Amino acid sequence: MADDPNIASKVIKNDPWYSSYATRAEQMRASEIRALFAVANRPEVVSLAGGMPYLGRMPFDKLADQLGDMLRSKGQVAWQYGSAQGDPHLREDVLPIMELEGIKDVQPDDVVIVNGSQSGLDLITRIMCDPGDVVLAEAPNYVGALGVFQSFQVDVVNVAMDGDGLIPEALEETILEQRRQGKAVKFLYTVPNFHNPAGATMSVERRPQVIEIARKYHVLIVEDNPYGLLAFNGQTYPALRSYDSEGIVYLSSFSKIIAPGMRVAWMVAPPGIRQKLVLANESAILCPSNMSQMTITTYLDNFDWKSQINDYRGMYKERCDAMDEALKEYLPYCSWLKPKGGFYIWLKIPQGLNAKEMLPRAITAKVAYVSGTAFYDNGEGADHMRLSFCYPTPDRIREGIRRLSTVIENELATVRLFEPDSGKERG
């Protein structure tokens, strides 16, 4: 029998297919941090981690009736395969949404529907980048984009940003430096409005400057704009795409304004790129879900979605104010930029602290955040954390920040004890 010590050992490979994986799967690993997040959804934990929009005010009862009617009348279409470019009805419906941010020259045929912006990022990277190519991106960078870029073995080169977004001079310097190194810069990836995680919005003055630099060096811009309609005061900013139709691939999504679970986003691209995107979309998924697309069109056609978004804006403002006030009260020695919209505050923690290493202590204290290290692919970011105010109520946000303050105080005490030199300038 197998437990006889005299018999030969049996080898059990933890993963028999380990040696068969592609190199790009190398980064796909479990981590303690991911495991710690398993508790973040428990009600005892105040999660300031996830970027989930609040859906509690959606008119689900009425929507259910409308969806029932839709299924009764168009069920065979909703459950059938569809076009790789997306439902023509939806492609028409997104036009007035884009007009709110100054994009007025788009026809339905210019639009490609994708399975969420994440899928759009995957497609554009798939058709533009070979391993080793360079993508420029703001630092910090959206964690989902980093995952896509890593999976295509792209080199992500950071471009500095500040409270007014991407710094044009830094962009030009970075392009020139990459050229000097003989690197192929395939595109600039940017989130100009209410950046995730930095919260910053690219100033209106900088937008044409960035476009001009990109034109000058023939660098494509991928503009990711999921938060553009979520300014607290209702203001919209001109999309980069509104300045230029030839050098920009525009991405926007229903995930933050209507329903992330539907996984519906859209892209607008110059003709050649658009054609490749459709082919790549077909190759990857055959077609976006008709059911999801028709759910969105049913909502857009039958409800006052602008008022709904306006309602959400007010709610997110209230929550952002609550977080800002709580931070001033409990963590005055940290620094942050109060955003004008979106979902996030990017908090700089005292010098010497490491947000990633501190997370287990936070989970013990029943508060969760995302370490800044998640938004870099080079190990930077440990001195920041992303705090989301979109989902918890103001009272919960306040409680979460209170808990976070005790976590930071305790971690500071430990770090000061063991590494006093690293925290000399701490608050």
Partner 1 sequence: MAAKHSKTPRQQTGGKTPAVGKAKTTASATTTTAASSANTASTATGEVVKRARRTSHRSIREATPVTMDDVLSLASKATKRADKSLLVICGGLSHERDVSISSGHRVQGFLEEAGWTVHVHDMDGSLLPYLTDESTRPDLVWPLLHGANGEDGSIRDVLEMAELPYIGSRAKASRTAWSKPIAKNVVRMAGLQTPHSVTLPESMFRELGVEPVIDMLLGSLGLPLFIKPTMGGSAMGCTMVTEQSQLTQALINCFAYGDVALIEQAVTGTEVSVSILEFDGHPLVLPPLEIWTPSGTYDFEARSTPGPTEFYVPARLDAKTTQAVSDAALTAHRALGLRDISRTDFIVDAQGQPQFLESNVAPGMTDTSLLPQSALAAGYNLPELYTALVQSVLDQKRTD
CA dist 111 and 293 (Å) reads: 13
CA dist 331 and 6 (Å) reads: 63
Per CB under 8 A, which of residues 361..420 are in contact with partner 1? 361, 363-364, 366, 411, 414-415, 417-419
How many chain residues are in contact with partner 1, going by CB under 8 A?
42
Q: Which is nearer to partner 1, 41 or 378 (CB)?
A: 41
Q: DSSP secondary-structure letter at 314?
A: H
Does 45 sit near partner 1 (CB under 8 A)?
A: yes
Q: Which is nearer to partner 1, 2 or 205 (CB)?
A: 2
What is residue 74's three-state secondary structure? helix
Q: What are the E-state strand segments in 139-201?
A: 155-159, 161-162, 165-166, 185-190
Give the CA diameter of the chain.
79
What is residue 336's three-state secondary structure? coil
Q: Of the candidates 44, 61, 205, 425, which one interacts with partner 1 according to CB under 8 A?
A: 44
Does 3 sit near partner 1 (CB under 8 A)?
A: yes
CA dist 25 and 151 (Å) reads: 7
Q: Of the candidates 360, 393, 394, 402, which one interacts with partner 1 according to CB under 8 A?
A: 360
Does 31 sit near partner 1 (CB under 8 A)?
A: yes
The minimum distance between CB 421 and partner 1, in angstroms, equals 10
Does 359 sit near partner 1 (CB under 8 A)?
A: yes
Sequence length of the chain is 427
Per CB under 8 A, which of residues 128..147 are in contact with partner 1? none
Q: Which is nearer to partner 1, 249 or 382 (CB)?
A: 382
Please count the other Cβ atoms lying within 10 Å of the Cβ belonging to residue 269. Answer: 26
Closest CA relative to residue 177, chosen from 161, 160, 157 = 157
Query: Which residue type sits at 206?
Result: R
Write the binding mask 286 to 325 for partner 1: x where contact by CB under 8 A, - elsewhere.
----------------------------------------
Give me the torsion for CA of 161, 248, 340, 315, rounded to 10°: -140
Q: Of the candidates 39, 77, 95, 285, which one interacts with partner 1 according to CB under 8 A?
A: 39
Stretch that binds partner 1, among 41-49, 89-97, 157-165, 199-207 (CB under 8 A): 41-49
- DSSP letters, 121-153, are HHHHHHHH--TT-EEEEESS--HHHHHHHHHTT
The minimum distance between CB 132 and partner 1, in angstroms, equals 25
- Name the residues that contact partner 1, by CB under 8 A: 1-7, 9-15, 18, 29-32, 34-36, 38-39, 42-45, 357-361, 363-364, 366, 411, 414-415, 417-419
